């Protein structure tokens, strides 16, 4: 099942130069996935109330061109067939005025919110999504984000109440906001990322103080986000 999601951006979705923010790109793709879940009869909120949740583990987004203010935006999404019993992939095509300008993929697990452990993804659940035999990237396994031992800059960030989603964790898109706070000023202001990778290791919970650390490695801007106990929570990679 291919699902198309028409999005009408608002002013806050844009940078000063009129280009769509990368944060808004992810928001639009996420909302297209939610539209697919609703169409499949798998309400995200209903699932959360049953103490089960689709949990995102990875993003890979390739940006060929950023939409500009006034462009027509459509996101297309679909689920792939399950090849492993504990995770599934969702792919995206992002259209600007009818032309593909961004492609992406995500990896998901079903988490038992009571035990905190992944659950086997049942065939009848996947069948609701009517998987498609199509992938936007050739690689089956996503490349790991470069390992970093030494960082050039770090910043402590206090989580806010508004950062927490209906699963009682920091919402997955908020980690990108945290990473933006530690990027060098000239990198942040350039708005020219061609590739974004995010890997979620462990959720940040309400009231937790985190530390975002930055390094430049392997021609990439790398951000690691650590919890108050020093545990690695999320890794992000930005390629210009």
User: In order of start, what are the domains of the chain with their CATH numbers?
Assistant: 3-128 (3.10.129.10), 153-239 (3.10.129.10)
pLDDT confidence tier of residue 47, bands split at 50, 70 and 90 = low
Contact 202, 147 (CB under 8 A): no
Percent of the chain scoring above 90 in pLDDT: 71
Cross-strand partners of 225: 212, 234
Q: Please state, in angstroms and as integers, the Cα–Cα distance from residue 221 to each residue in 65, 182, 213, following that order.
A: 19, 10, 11
Contacts of 18 (CB under 8 A, 6+ apart): 68, 69
pLDDT at 116: 75
Each residue of 79-126: pLDDT tens digit? 987 767 678 899 999 999 999 999 999 999 888 878 878 888 888 888
Each residue of 139-179: pLDDT tens digit? 878 999 999 999 999 999 999 999 998 878 899 999 999 99
Mean of pLDDT over the chain:
92
To the nearest 10°, report the CA torsion of 215, 216, 220, 225: 0
Each residue of 116-150: pLDDT tens digit? 788 888 888 888 899 999 999 988 789 999 999 99
């Amino acid at each position: 099942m291919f699902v198309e999601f028409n999005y009408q951006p608002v002013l806050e979705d844009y940078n000063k130069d009129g280009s769509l923010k990368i944060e808004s790109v992810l928001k639009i793709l996420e909302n297209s996935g939610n539209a697919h879940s609703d169409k499949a009869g798998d309400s995200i909120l209903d699932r959360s109330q049953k103490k089960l949740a689709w949990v995102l583990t990875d993003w890979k987004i390739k940006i060929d061109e950023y939409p500009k203010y006034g462009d027509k935006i459509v996101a297309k999404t679909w689920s792939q067939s399950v090849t492993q019993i504990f995770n599934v992939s969702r792919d995206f095509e992002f259209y600007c005025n009818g032309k593909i300008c961004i492609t992406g993929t995500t990896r998901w697990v079903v988490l038992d919110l009571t035990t905190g452990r992944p659950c086997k993804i049942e065939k009848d659940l996947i069948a609701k999504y009517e998987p498609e035999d199509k992938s936007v990237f050739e690689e089956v396994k996503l490349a790991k984000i470069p390992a970093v031992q030494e960082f050039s800059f770090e910043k402590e960030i206090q989580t806010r109440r508004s950062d927490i989603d209906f699963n009682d964790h920091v919402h997955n898109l908020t980690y990108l906001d945290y990473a933006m706070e530690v990027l060098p000023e000239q990198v942040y202001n350039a708005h020219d990322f061609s590739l974004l990778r995010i890997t979620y290791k462990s959720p940040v919970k309400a009231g937790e103080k985190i530390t975002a650390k930055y390094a430049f490695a392997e021609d990439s801007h790398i951000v690691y986000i650590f919890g108050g106990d020093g545990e690695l929570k999320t890794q992000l990679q930005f390629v210009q």
